[in-house]
Amino acid sequence: MTAGRKQSGPTSKGLKRNLKKFARVLRLKPLYQEERASVFKDRWAAIASCLDGSDASFIDIGCNMGHFTAAAARHGLFAIGVDPMEEAISRARRLHRKVRGCGFVFLDVNLETVRLIPTVDVMLCLSVHHYWNRAHGEDGAWRIIGELAQRSRKLFFEPASSHGRYGADVPPFRENDEESIAAYVRNGFARVAPGRKVSHVKTTSSINTESFRSMFLISSP
C-alpha cells in the first residue's frame, strides 16, 4: 500500500454500528436490566411494599432477564415473565432455573396477542410503553395498556420520560418533567381504564437521555 494513501473500509459511523452489534452478541453491551441494575432493589422494594396476602399471581410484560419475575416468585407469587426477545428469555431461564414458581414465555405482546395474556393479581408494564408507541402509535399503545389493565388488579406502569425513546407519535408530556408525566399517565388511564386509581409509587434514576423513570400503580377501586 502506498504511504499516505487512505485505506478503504467502512466509515466511522458504519464501524461503530457494527461494533455495537458484535458487543451485543458477545455480551459486552449489557441488556437493559443490567444497565439499570443499580436501581433494581429500589424498584422491587417499592413494588413489594404495595403487595399483600391477596396477591398470588404475577406477570411481567417485557421481563428482559427476569429479575422482577424471580423476585416475585421468591416473594411467594406464581410468576411468569414475558418478552419478545428470544435471547432475553433464554438467559432468564438460565439465570432463574432454580427459582420455584417462576417461568418465562417467549411472546411479542401486541394488539393481536394481548388477548392471550391471562388475568392475574399483579402485572408489570415497565419500560414497554415506548416500544408499543413506536410499533402501534400513541392510540395503539394505550389500547394494549387498557387491555392489560383489565387483566390485572394491580398494574405497575413505568413510561419513558424522554421523547427520544418514542416513535414519530410523540406523547403529549414535557420531557423529564415529573408533574407533566404524572398528568399524562392519569389522563391515559382515565381514558382506557376508567374508575381505576392511579398512584405514584417511586421515581428512580435512569440512563441515556432520561434523568429519571416514574413508576405508577393502577389499582382496582
CATH number, residue 141: 3.40.50.150
Domain count, the chain: 1
Question: E-strand spans in 46-173?
Answer: 57-61, 78-83, 102-106, 120-126, 152-158
pLDDT the model gives residue 160: 95
Position 147 in a domain:
yes
Q: Give me the pLDDT at residue 25, please.
A: 39
Q: Is 13 within a domain? A: no
Helix (H) or strand (E) holding 205: strand 197-205
Residue 18 lies in a domain: no
The pLDDT assigned to 39 comes to 81
Question: Rounded distance, CA 83 to CA 89, Å?
Answer: 6
pLDDT at 23: 41
In a domain, 7, yes or no: no
pLDDT at 209: 75
161: in domain: yes
Please indicate, yes or no, if residue 29 is contained in any of the structural domains: no
Per-10-residue mean pLDDT of the chain, 221 residues long, equals 44 54 42 62 96 98 96 98 96 97 98 97 96 96 98 97 93 96 98 97 84 94 82
What are the beta bridge partners of residue 59?
Answer: 80, 123
pLDDT of residue 14: 57
Output the pLDDT for position 91.
95
Tallying the residues shown for the chain, one arrives at: 221
pLDDT at residue number 211: 85
Q: Assess if residue 74 is contained within a domain.
A: yes
| Contact assessment for residue 42 and residue 202, using Cβ atoms and an 8 Å cutoff | yes
- Answer yes or no: is 51 within a domain: yes
Longest CA–CA separation in the chain, Å: 77
pLDDT at 7 (0 to 100): 44
Nearest 10 degrees: CA dihedral of 167, 64, 183, 42? -140
Q: What is the pLDDT of residue 30?
A: 47
3-state secondary structure of 200: strand
Angle (CA) 56 58 61, round 5°:
170
- Full residue range of the structural domain in which residue 84 is found: 36-219
